[in-house]
């Protein structure tokens, strides 16, 4: 076995900014065994060459292809560095660059939103128990909009506890669920043990290029609404594959009690993204991957909430779940006083109250 040696730079070569510094860190670190030179493939001569002792050397780009499938890949200023999962360096400095045309290569260093991870790791059980489901009408629109038929591959990003997945699980699709929250994955596995789950986020989906017929994202796109996400979604979709975005949203002015319920949430609003502020739509402007305008479908419906769950439902929202104890106690007292004390807070014979909802579905396809 021979150590990986970076190719000697020709006098006319120019190294990219920062490459010398990174290269200095990597000098002398062992890497992968060199492949024997294959003289039957002259096109490989540009990537492999013999050293002075006759030992074949592997240029960095070749090492990249050998390691890319089994090692963690980091992209630093256009250079790709690989590290094995044990932390020991097995590395290269590579002239591989991300694709600038259709995003079909390269990996992002972006991670899932930390606030979302913190909140949903903590409240995944209550989220699963208390959050509203999706109506049969909404699920039918997802199926129609994404042109789903038996045998197609559907990737669900931000699959959560499986609230949408369970509605799609027995229709003959090959479903792959992608979820970065450990807590959400734990509950998902209990609910849907036969569905494949991936511990990943939208910026680095561990699936091959053009492997999905459709991607659906429910209650989550506002957490990662940027061009890096769209580029990666486009990468995994087949040509003309479809992308669907689904949200349940609480109506704000349907009743006095529900208006107060929403206002309490707004009073503790943070700067993190939300569906209702519509900032997520900005990511679809001036992008080359998906057709515009987005197609839209909106319906109203009602969700029956037990009296004892009115506070618990609010507590599943990330801005409330992440409050300090004193603030959280104040929010709970405000629910008791302003919501449950509202004149129109009337329970039915079963001790439930109807909450007015809207469901929004947007879809588009790859260009």
Query: pTM of the predicted model, to two decimals?
Result: 0.69
pLDDT tens sequence for the chain (367 residues): 434 333 333 444 444 333 343 343 334 333 333 334 344 443 434 433 444 444 444 334 334 333 343 333 333 333 333 333 333 333 333 322 233 333 334 455 555 445 555 555 666 688 889 999 999 999 999 999 999 999 999 999 999 999 999 999 999 999 999 999 999 999 999 999 999 999 999 999 999 999 999 999 999 998 886 899 999 999 999 999 999 999 999 887 789 999 999 898 888 776 666 666 778 889 899 999 999 999 999 999 999 999 999 999 998 887 787 777 899 899 999 999 999 999 999 999 999 999 999 999 999 999 9
Nearest 10 degrees: Cα torsion 297, 278, 105, 165? -50
Taking CA atoms, 288 is separated from 157, 291, 323, in Å, by 21, 8, 39
Record the tokens describing residue 360, joined without a space.
């929004």
Give the pLDDT confidence score for residue 254 in this predicted structure. 81
Tell me where in the chain the CATH 3.40.50.150 domain(s) lie: 114-365
Q: In angstroms, rounded to a whole number, what is the distance separating the alpha carbons of residues 85 and 73?
A: 10
Q: How many CB atoms sit inside 10 A of residue 48's CB?
A: 18
Report d(CA 59, CA 72) in Å as an integer: 19
The one-character DSSP state at 15 is P
Alpha carbon separation from 186 to 32, 125, 174, 176, 189 (Å, rounded): 36, 9, 20, 15, 5
d(CA 119, CA 138): 26
> What stretches of 207-328 adopt beta strand conformation (E)?
212-218, 237-250, 295-306
Class of domain 114-365 (CATH, top level): alpha beta
Looking at residue 251, its pLDDT comes to 87
- In the chain the beta strands, taken as DSSP E runs, fall at 48-50, 56-58, 72-76, 79-83, 153-157, 174-178, 196-198, 212-218, 237-250, 295-306, 352-365
Distance of CA 1 to the CA centre of its chain: 40
> What pLDDT is recorded for position 323?
78
30 vs 48, 61, 82, 327, CA distance in Å?
Answer: 18, 16, 12, 53
The total of other beta-carbon atoms located within 10 Å of residue 240's CB is 11
């Amino acid at each position: 076995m021979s150590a990986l040696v970076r190719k000697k730079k020709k006098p006319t070569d120019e190294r990219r900014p920062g490459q010398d510094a990174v290269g200095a860190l990597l000098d002398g670190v062992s890497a992968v065994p060199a492949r024997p030179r294959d003289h039957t493939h002259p096109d490989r001569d540009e990537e492999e060459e013999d050293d002075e002792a006759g030992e074949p050397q592997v240029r960095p780009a070749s090492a990249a292809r050998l390691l890319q499938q089994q090692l963690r890949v980091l992209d630093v200023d256009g250079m790709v560095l690989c590290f094995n999962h044990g932390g020991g360096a097995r590395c290269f400095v590579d002239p591989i660059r991300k694709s600038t045309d259709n995003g079909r290569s390269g990996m992002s260093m972006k991670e899932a939103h930390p606030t979302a991870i913190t909140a949903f790791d903590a409240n995944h059980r209550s989220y699963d128990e208390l959050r509203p489901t999706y109506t049969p009408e909404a699920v039918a629109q997802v199926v129609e909009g994404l042109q789903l038929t038996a045998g197609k591959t559907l990737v669900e990003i931000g699959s959560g506890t499986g609230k949408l997945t369970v509605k799609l699980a027995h229709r003959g699709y090959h479903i792959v669920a992608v979820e970065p929250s450990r807590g959400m994955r734990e509950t998902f596995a209990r609910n849907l043990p036969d569905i494949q789950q991936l511990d990943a986020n939208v910026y680095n989906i561990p699936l091959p290029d053009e492997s999905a017929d459709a991607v659906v994202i429910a209650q989550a796109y506002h957490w990662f609404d940027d061009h890096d996400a769209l580029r990666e979604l486009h990468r995994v979709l087949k040509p003309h594959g479809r992308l669907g975005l689904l949200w349940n949203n609480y109506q704000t002015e349907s009743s006095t009690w529900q208006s107060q319920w929403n206002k309490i949430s707004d009073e503790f609003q943070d700067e993190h993204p939300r569906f209702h502020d519509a900032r997520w739509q900005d990511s679809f402007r001036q992008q080359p991957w998906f057709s515009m305008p987005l197609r839209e479908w909106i319906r109203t419906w009602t969700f029956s909430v037990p009296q004892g769950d009115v506070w618990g439902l609010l507590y599943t929202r990330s801005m409330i779940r992440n409050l300090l104890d004193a603030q959280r106690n104040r929010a709970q007292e405000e629910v008791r006083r302003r919501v449950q004390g509202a004149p129109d807070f009337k329970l039915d014979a079963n001790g439930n109250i109807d909450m007015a909802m809207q469901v929004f579905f947007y879809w588009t396809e790859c260009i």
